[in-house]
Amino acid sequence: MSDRDESDADPRAEQVRYDQARYVENGQYEPLLSEKDQTRVEIGASDGDDGDDSADGGSPLPDDLTRDSLELPELSEPELARHYTRLSQMIYGIDSGPYPLGSCTMKYNPKFTEDVAALPKVAVHPDRSERSVQGTLELMYRLQDYLGRIGGMDAVTLQPPAGAAGEFVGIRVAAAYHEHEGEGHRDEVIIPESAHGTNFASAALGGYEVVSLPSDEGGRVDLEALEAALSENTAALMLTNPNTLGLFERDIEEIAEMVHDVGGLLYYDGANLNALLGRARPGDMGFDVMHYNVHKTFATPHGGGGPGAGPVGVVDELAPFLPAPRVRSNGESKSEPGYELFDPEHTIGKVHGYQGNWLVLVKAFAYIARLGDEGLADASATAVLNANYLASRIGYEVPYEPFHHEFVASAGDQDAADVAKRMLDYGVHPPTTKWPEIVPEALMTEPTEVEGKGTLDRLAAAFNAVAAEDDETLESAPERTTARRIDQTSAARSPRLSWQALEPESESDE
C-alpha cells in the first residue's frame, strides 16, 4: 500500500470536520420524557366523583390493586418532537455517514422498502382465510423462490426471526434429517476457529459437541485439520464463504466432498452472501443447508432486538424437515389455482408464529424485486470493488489477500479499540475491532456497495489520520461525539437497567 497515489483522492476528503450534537439539561444528556415532566393525572370514576372509595370506576379488582391517579409526563407536541429529534441527532447511523462495520454488512436501507411495507394492503391479519390473502401468499411464495434461486437451494422457510435463529433452525433440520436416516449418533459439528460466534452457540444449543477447526497459514480451512476432525460422528461442518477474512474458500468443492464422504452435511452461514450475489451459489458449491441474513444482504433493518428475519434454505433431501407451515402453489390440480400453506412431511414444527416477521420479509422482497438479477450482481461486484479500493487507500497493513467484500487490516502497534474510538471523531463509524483474532489488532472493514468514491476517500482519510496519531490522543478519544469514552467496566459491574435507577446514589445502589 506504500505506493498509493494521493493525487486521485477526493480533495474534500481531508477537510471533513465533525462535531456531534450534545443537548444537556440539568447536567445530563437530553433527559427522558418522564424526567422532563411528571404530572399527577386523576383517573377517577366515570361518574366524576374523584377521590372517594368508589373511585375505581367499578373495577372488579380489589381496592389495594387499583389506584386513583398516576404520574405521567405532560408535554406539548413541539416538546415531544424536539425530544426525539434531539435523540436522533445524538446517535450515529447509516443515514448519518459511512458505516463500514465488518461482517455486519451495514447497507443503506432504501426508503422505498419502508413505503412498500407501510401499504395498507400489506397489513393483513395472519388468521385470515387462504382464499382472501392470495396476494400475501404469492409474495411469500415468490420470496421463497427468489431466495432459493439466489442460494442454489431447493426449498426455503421464511419463518426464523433472525440470522442466529436461522442457524439454530438449520442445525435442528440437519439433526432431524440425521435422526430420520438412522444416523442419530452423530453428535459433532465442526466449526472453523474464525467463524462467527453464533455458529458455536447454535451448534451447542442444538445439542452438538463443537469441534473447533484451525485455519491454515493463508487464513483458509486447513484440509489436513479437517480430515483429522471428520468422522462417523460428524453431523455437519459450518462454513461461511467468503470467510471472515473476506477470503474465498477455494477448496470448497473438495471440502464438500470430504464432509459428504463421511455422511456429514455442509452448512452455509449466509452472513457473507453479499460477496457472491449473481456469481456463485452456496448450493452449487455443495452446501446442503444455509440461512440468509436479509438485514445484511437484502437491506432490511438491522436487529438491535428485532424484528428481523433469517430464512433458511435446504436441498431437496432436507426439505421435509423444514418448519411448518410453508407456502406452495397448488398448481393446476385445483379448480382455483393459487397458493396454500402446508406442513412439510417430517417438519421440526414451528419456530415462530405464523410466517415469521412478515413486514421484514416484505422489505426484503421489495429490495430483491427492485434490483433484479442484474442489480443484485452489480451490488455484489460494487461491494467487492469498494472494499478493495478502500484497502488500497489506507496505510494499515492488510495481511490476508485477495479479499472480497471486506478486509481485515491490522492496527499494528496501536490498540484497535482506541483506533475505533478515534475514528468517531472524524465523522465516520469505525470498523469491527479485534476480531477475527488471527489478525493482531484487527480492523475488520466492510464499506458495502452503497458508498461512492468521495465517501470512500473520506473514510480512507479518517483511517490514515488516526494511523498518524499518538497513543495519548487515541486513549482520550472520542472528543467530538455526544458521549465520550464509555466506562464499560462500571456499566457491566453495576448495570442500571431502568430509568428509575438513575435516581440519586443513596437510593439506587441496590
Partner 1 sequence: MSFEIPDDRRYLESHEWALEDDGTVRVGISDFAQDELGDVVFVELPDEGDALNQEEEFGVVESIKAVSDLYAPVSGEVTAVNADLFDAPELVNDDPFGDGWMLEIDADDASELEALLTAAEYEEQIA
Q: Which residues contact partner 1 (rule: CB under 8 A)?
A: 488-489, 492-493
Min CB(491)–partner 1 separation in Å:
9
First to last CA, the chain: 54
Closer CB to partner 1, residue 129 or residue 489? 489
The nearest distance, CB 418 to partner 1, in angstroms, is 14
In whole angstroms, what is the distance from residue 56 CA to residue 300 CA?
46
Query: Would you say 67 or 496 has its CB closer to partner 1?
Result: 496
Q: Report, in Å, the least distance between residue 488 CB and partner 1.
A: 5
Question: How near is the Cβ of 412 to partner 1 at its closest, in Å?
Answer: 20
For partner 1, give the closer residue by CB, 65 or 492.
Answer: 492
The three-class DSSP label of residue 181 is coil
Given the complex with partner 1, which of 334 and 493 has the nearer CB atom? 493
User: Can you tell me the distance from the alpha carbon of 237 to that of 204, in angstroms, rounded to the nearest whole number?
Assistant: 13
CB of 489 to partner 1, least distance (A): 4
Nearest approach, Cβ of residue 23 and partner 1 (Å): 28
- CB of residue 434 vs partner 1: minimum separation in angstroms? 8
Provide, rounded to whole angstroms, the least separation between the CB of residue 492 and partner 1: 4
Q: Which is nearer to partner 1, 39 or 490 (CB)?
A: 490
Residue 466: C-alpha distances to residues 19, 50, 236, 484 (Å): 16, 64, 43, 17
Task: Output the smallest distance, CB 487 to partner 1, in A.
Answer: 10
Between residues 66 and 494, which has the closer beta carbon with respect to partner 1? 494
Locus of grid cell 413505503? 115
Q: How far is the CB of 479 from partner 1 (least distance, A)?
A: 22
- Which is nearer to partner 1, 16 or 201 (by Cβ)? 201
- Show the CA angle centred on residue 358, arms to residues 352 and 364, nearest 5°: 120
CA 226 vs CA 170, 174, 216, 230, 372: distances in Å: 21, 20, 10, 6, 38
- What angle do the packed helices 453-467 and 358-393 form, to 10 degrees? 60
Spatial CA neighbour of 365 closest among 11, 30, 122, 39 = 122
Query: Which is nearest to 152 in space by CA: 285, 299, 294, 293?
Result: 285
Nearer to partner 1, 191 or 394 (CB): 191
Beta strands, E only, 215-356: 234-239, 265-269, 289-291, 312-314, 326-329, 339-342
| Cell numbers linked to 92 | 450515529
* Smaller CB separation from partner 1, 489 or 498: 489
As a whole number of angstroms, the distance between CA 475 and CA 487 comes to 13
**What's the CA gap between 221 and 248, in Å, rounded?**
10
Closest to 245 in 3D by CA, of 379, 387, 381: 387
**Contact indicator for 397, 439 with CB cutoff of 8 Å:** no
Q: Which of 155, 164, 133, 195 lies closest to 306 in space, CA to CA?
A: 164
Preceding amide of 436 cis, omega within 30: yes
Q: In the complex with partner 1, which residue's Cβ is closer, 76 or 489?
A: 489
Of 231, 249, 232, which Cα lies nearest the Cα of 240? Answer: 249
Nearer to partner 1, 26 or 489 (CB): 489
CB 164, min distance to partner 1, A:
17
What is the β-pairing status of strands 24-25 and 28-29?
antiparallel
Cβ-based nearer residue to partner 1, 129 or 488: 488
Q: CA–CA separation, 463 vs 428, rounded Å?
A: 10
Spatial distance between the Cα atoms of 294 and 287, rounded to a whole number of angstroms: 19
Q: Which of 183, 200, 184 is nearest to 192 (CA)?
A: 200
Q: Are the CB atoms for 222 and 214 separated by under 8 Å?
A: yes
CB of 99 to partner 1, least distance (A): 24
- At its nearest, how many Å lie between partner 1 and the CB of residue 194? 16
Q: Given the complex with partner 1, which of 488 and 506 has the nearer CB atom?
A: 488
